[in-house]
Amino acid sequence: MRRVARGDRGAFEELYRRTSPWLTVRLRRRCSDDQIVAEVLQETYLAVWRAADAFAGAAAGGSAVGWLWTIAARRLVDAFRRRAHHAAPPRAVAPGDSPAAEEAVLDGVVGDEVGDALRTLAPELRQVLQAMVLDGLSVRETSLLLGVPEGTVKTRARRARIAMREALT
């Protein structure tokens, strides 16, 4: 990231080569419209190129990949909002489509009880669990992604754990 911040095109190309496949898969989990995914991917890397010097890195308790995902997730929300103003909202992954990777893993590993418990959680609690557990983000990265204070993320994570525990007993 330091090299990208200094304008090193080779470093940027390497960052793109290493992270774009992963980022594309993550975006497709949340949006089935390939055009929106392509736009968000382009906007994300443009933002990274322009603001690489703003990345605080390990000093702020984050990772480059987490920062990249935070930018992409916000760009995806922005794309949804833009589309909502101009046309029908983008089609979410329908139940008939192939399940998201998280759902396939959960179904194969944790069974019906945990899946049912997750589905009963309030959306804000499920978002925190998805970001922290499934996506592996830190409290700080989850806070940035969801646009809520870190204390709120911690509270929601605790409430989600309690609700899951109660649902599974």
- Cα distances (Å, whole numbers) of residue 150 to 87, 137, 139: 35, 12, 6
Tens of pLDDT, residues 1-28: 888 888 889 999 999 999 999 999 989 8
What predicted TM-score, i.e. pTM, was given to this entire model?
A: 0.51
Burial class (CB in 10 A: 0-12, 13-18, 19+), 67: buried
pLDDT band at 112 (very low <50, low <70, confident <90, very high): low
pLDDT digits (tens, 9 = 90+) for 67-94: 888 899 888 888 877 776 554 444 444 4
